[in-house]
Structure 1
Amino acid sequence: MFIMKVAIIYPPIFKDGKFPLLTQNRQYRYSSSTNVRIYPIVSATSATLLKEHFDVLYLDGINERLSMDEFLNRLYNFDPDLVMMETKTPIIKKHWKFIDKIKQEKNIKVALVGDHVSALPEESFIQSSVDYVLTGGDYDVSFLNLCLHISEGKKLGKGIWYRENGVKNTGNYELIKDLDSLPFIDRDLTNWQLYGEAYLYKPCTYIMTGRGCGGGLNGVGICSFCSWQHSLWNCSARLRTPENVAEEIETLVNKYKLKEIFDDNESGVIWNKKWLKQFYKEMKERGLIGEVFLSSNARADCLDQKTCDLLKKIGFRLLKVGLESGNEKTLKKLCKREGVRKIKKGVQNAKDHGMKVMLTIMVGYPWETKNDVKKTYEVARELMLYKTSFGDCLQSSVIIPYPGTPLYEEGVRKDWFVIDPKDYEKYDMSMPVLKSYINPFEWCDKMWSIHKESKFILRSLLTMRSFYDLKLAYTGFKSIDAHTKDF
């Protein structure tokens, strides 16, 4: 059997001293904040799967803050036969150049993964010398399949594009049904200490209780701006079992003495009440209640009183909730499947139960007027000042429609783009790419500035309860200040 050396890599490509938010990030931009380092769960799972069969290097040059020379020295010293790179629209052209460079210098075979190449797989073969493109979100499984195909002749699975007398593919990708069949991530192999965000207690790490956004009508999210749901998960929602998730949490707490664990699944598991009830039993039986804080993405329309009661019992501390806009018209156009009233009620329910809430907001929609964005600001401010306690926060960004999303297709069809839609490097949030009646950067800054209101600061300070809160406040204020410089 041919034993390969395989590398999973994130090349350190920076811009004007700012760090690229690529790993496991839905909205890409270069940021001044050094406190946003999201753990790439699927890539880390891929490394864990591969180590049972191959010699594996996991090399995240972005979050290790390596220079390109340092990065290439480590990569070339390892001398891999095949590398896997996660890519995204704003950085795809730089990745094409990087692929050509390492293939010319070392003749390394390269596989690209991620939402951009899942939406436009053939493009990368035209624009670069890439060898493989793996489509769909379960690229940890498909990359293992590719490696076994190369080393042992195993039949290629679905969703793989490759060069052979031109460009060929194995058909549309298929998602695995049993997420429990995946191993727990080898945190040491994948340098788990590198990752974390300013709003999480340290030490912390990330898990994914499932893959795909649940909730809303018919049980799944279909937001028109979400590249992950449309390009990676095929508008589906799958969950691991409560037993499997509780076992992983128990392992992490016992081995690493974690203070907090963040569930980076699209909308967490909060939309599935039956799952949550069983999860509570599992956590209680294992003696994990009170041993670690849990935080999660969440849909506000799932945060009714009974669910919030259960979340609080389990130990959830913070919920990351998508507001996106304070306008009913916009929420309908985005296919959010929840209105302003439900979002406000869900956030208020969570706060009534003592949980912290991080709101996510986008501005710069081509149909929104100044009065519309004012409404969003007013709703965001109202929710931020509702029972404010230390840990409440928001993040605001400019809407960027990625290829593969309905919003992108609508933008092309209705001539909303102010750039050539193929000018991908301008998708990095350094400028608006869609027509807008407002200056979205001014409004992003205004949203972020709610953190600096005296009323918000005073209420936050008065509800600090521990030394951990003091540490969190220090990193949080530094991060907010850096984010405001991004706009």
Structure 2
Amino acid sequence: MIKRILLMNPPYGMFQRGEERCQADVEGGSAISLRPPNNLGYIASILKNLGKEVVIRDYPVEKDKDFIKDLKNYNFDLILMSITTGTIEEDLKFFKTTKNFNKNIITIAEGAHFITAPIESFKSEIFKYLDFAFFGESEYVVKEFINSYENNKSLSQVKGLIYKDNGEWIKNEKPPFIENLDFLPFPARDLMRNDLYKNPDTDKPMATIQTSRGCPGNCIYCLAPIVSGKNLRKRSPKNIVDEIEECINKYKIDNFFLRADTFTIDKDWVIEISNEIIKRNLKIVWVANSRVKPIDEEMLIWMKRSGCYLIAFGLESGSEKSLKLMKKGVTVEDNINAVKLAKKLGFKVYSFFIIGFPWEDREDILKTIELSKKLPSDFVEFHIATPYYGTELYDIMKKENLLDNNPEGHNYFSNPVGGTKYLTREEIINLRKKALLSFYLRPNFILKTLLTQNPKTIKNYIKYGFKLIKNNLF
């Protein structure tokens, strides 16, 4: 019988582990903030409903907690770890520590990596101390797994499970997507250190609210359609705002990130959420991520009225050629119009770009850098195109012999997988550094930032500024 369970982000690096398609290295990014481990929070709520005693640890963030001490102080029956493709090699070393302490502890890993990673890759030595892996939506898989394991049912019937049979790794059928997201319990925030995940603008705790799953987009680099499906599955506005209200009343949190694979795709739904917040008279501030299409003034006005003050746009490129080849479905002009509209209505704008696609030369990337400085963005981030298993980008780079390595152990800030047809990986890394420094170190930008922010916010921005300089000058 499984009684006591540890759900953990392992003690290696600060990464956005729980958002599946976004596996960002927080320390390597320019302005990326820590987010709470909602994926573990959802799993914890499911397990608590099954009568399990659950502990959540985000070890890189909870610096007062120690993995070895927890192994000694708790009699864990099962440990589930959230991994990323970029960290998996280091992550799974902690299962060796686990098995050396007690070989009977069940070890499980979960993450987007396992959806598309070749089963042959499990022959690597790093998987020696792993018992099981989940792929698909873990809230579904964990319940089915616990039921089968505890009742001695065949594990071959657990959809979304990878397991060993006579020393051979077996990958079961893919699990169905959870169609009605309102049926999911809210993440178990009572098990999280909510005070550690702060909004850099307000220095107050910020909760992430997963508002929907799925994206109908065709972007060749993105894991979202693979992880969450191409059909948009939306929570009801009432259910979303119920969770917001719980955070306010139970956890004293009034800063939020309303997260989605594509938040603004359904205008009426966004307006309903905004109206529900206003109707309940909730005094909150929130941010959201968005494509540049579809977006319009009416929707943005409702978002602003309900407390939204920042929008993160996936602009990706200043090259028409790149936007077309990456199948983004927008133009450079669409990018410009979206940012200008948001700024006209008083929003802060966080613009995301991607450089280093297989077809890109120096001129293509310089077009993106120039667009970043042309737009009135408040923050920017530059990713290096990363070919995750299962994406069209992976297939293209493999066909073009541009994969120096497999994706494991690499990230899209400082350690890309390979180069382009025209640029080495080192040249792309240096162009990313150039892009960030040329945006953030403009005298006019620095002066405007210092004159328009309060002292507490400036203090946080200075901290990010030092990190930027450290990462890109030394």
Contact 1:445 1:484 in 2 (8 A): no
Query: Which residue is equivalent to 2:258?
Result: 263
Alignment partners' CA distance in 2, 1:363 and 1:154 = 48
Contact 2:199 2:255 in 1 (8 A): no
Query: Which residue is equivalent to 1:59?
Result: 57
Partner SS for 1:90:
coil
Structure 1 residue 477 corresponds to structure 2 residue 471? no
Taking a change above 3 Å as real, the CA distance of residues 349 and 72 of structure 1, as seen in their structure-2 partners, is: same
Alignment partners' CA distance in 1, 2:275 and 2:414 = 47
Q: How much identity, in percent, do the aligned residues show?
A: 28
Query: Which residue is equivalent to 1:324?
Result: 316
Aligned with 2:445 (options 428, 451, 456): 456
Structure 1 residue 85 corresponds to structure 2 residue 81? yes
Deviation at 1:173, TM superposition (A): 2.1
Alignment partners' CA distance in 2, 1:123 and 1:97 = 19
Alignment partners' CA distance in 1, 2:462 and 2:276 = 36
Contact 2:291 2:315 in 1 (8 A): no
AA partner of residue 442 (structure 2)? E
Taking a change above 3 Å as real, the CA distance of residues 420 and 408 of structure 1, as seen in their structure-2 partners, is: same
Contact 1:90 1:427 in 2 (8 A): yes
Partner SS for 1:384:
coil
Query: Which residue is equivalent to 1:216?
Result: none
Q: Name the Cα RMSD after superposition.
A: 2.4
Contact 1:112 1:133 in 2 (8 A): yes
Deviations 1:261-313 (A, max 9, x none): 01222222x2111212322332222112xx01110111111221222222222
Taking a change above 3 Å as real, the CA distance of residues 482 and 89 of structure 1, as seen in their structure-2 partners, is: same
TM-score of the pair, normalised by structure 2? 0.89
Taking a change above 3 Å as real, the CA distance of residues 183 and 30 of structure 1, as seen in their structure-2 partners, is: closer
Give the 5 Å matches for 1:146-165.
Answer: 146-152=145-151, 156-165=157-166
Structure 1 residue 36 corresponds to structure 2 residue 33? yes
Deviation at 1:353, TM superposition (A): 0.6
Instruction: Provide structure 1 residue ranges, at least 5 long, that are not aligned to the other structure.
Output: 214-219, 386-391
Structure 1 residue 175 corresponds to structure 2 residue 177? yes
Alignment partners' CA distance in 2, 1:348 and 1:313 = 19
Taking a change above 3 Å as real, the CA distance of residues 186 and 154 of structure 1, as seen in their structure-2 partners, is: farther
AA partner of residue 160 (structure 2)? G
Contact 2:15 2:26 in 1 (8 A): yes
Deviations 1:100-127 (A, max 9, x none): 3322431221112111111126246422
Instruction: Provide structure 2 residue ranges, at least 5 long, that are not aligned to the other structure.
Output: none
Deviations 1:372-403 (A, max 9, x none): 11211111111136xxxxxx211123222222
Alignment partners' CA distance in 1, 2:231 and 2:68 = 38
Deviations 1:232-281 (A, max 9, x none): 1133321100010111111212233334201222222x211121232233
Alignment partners' CA distance in 1, 2:394 and 2:161 = 24
Deviation at 1:197, TM superposition (A): 5.0
Deviation at 1:201, TM superposition (A): 4.7
Give the 5 Å matches for 1:65-214.
Answer: 65=63, 70-107=66-103, 108-120=105-117, 122-123=119-120, 125-127=122-124, 128-129=127-128, 130-136=130-136, 138-152=137-151, 156-165=157-166, 166-196=168-198, 198-199=200-201, 201-213=203-215
Contact 1:24 1:39 in 2 (8 A): no
Give the 5 Å matches for 1:78-477.
Answer: 78-107=74-103, 108-120=105-117, 122-123=119-120, 125-127=122-124, 128-129=127-128, 130-136=130-136, 138-152=137-151, 156-165=157-166, 166-196=168-198, 198-199=200-201, 201-213=203-215, 220-230=216-226, 232-268=227-263, 270-288=264-282, 291-384=283-376, 392-417=378-403, 419-421=404-406, 424-427=408-411, 429-436=413-420, 437-438=422-423, 439-449=427-437, 450-464=439-453, 469-477=454-462
Query: Which residue is equivalent to 1:217?
Result: none
Contact 2:197 2:205 in 1 (8 A): no
Deviations 1:417-474 (A, max 9, x none): 2x2326x22446433422244522332223322122121223333333xxxx321221
Deviation at 1:339, TM superposition (A): 1.6
Partner SS for 2:401:
coil
Question: Structure 1 residues 204-213 or 145-154, which shifts more?
Answer: 145-154
Alignment partners' CA distance in 2, 1:30 and 1:305 = 32
Alignment partners' CA distance in 1, 2:217 and 2:42 = 24
Deviations 1:168-194 (A, max 9, x none): 343122111110011122212122222
Alignment partners' CA distance in 1, 2:176 and 2:252 = 37
Deviation at 1:486, TM superposition (A): 2.5
Partner SS for 1:203:
strand
Alignment partners' CA distance in 1, 2:328 and 2:461 = 29
Deviation at 1:348, TM superposition (A): 1.0
AA partner of residue 243 (structure 1)? K
For these two proteins, the number of residue pairs brought into alignment is 457
Question: Structure 1 residues 312-321 or 469-478, which shifts more?
Answer: 469-478
Alignment partners' CA distance in 2, 1:319 and 1:233 = 22
Deviations 1:326-367 (A, max 9, x none): 111111221211221112111111111111110111222232
Alignment partners' CA distance in 1, 2:96 and 2:362 = 45
AA partner of residue 205 (structure 1)? A
Deviations 1:187-242 (A, max 9, x none): 121222222353565122111101223xxxxxx12321112432x11333211000
Question: Structure 1 residues 445-454 or 356-365, which shifts more?
Answer: 445-454
Partner SS for 1:111:
strand
AA partner of residue 237 (structure 2)? P
Contact 2:237 2:276 in 1 (8 A): yes
Taking a change above 3 Å as real, the CA distance of residues 426 and 185 of structure 1, as seen in their structure-2 partners, is: closer
TM-score of the pair, normalised by structure 1? 0.87
Contact 1:23 1:37 in 2 (8 A): no
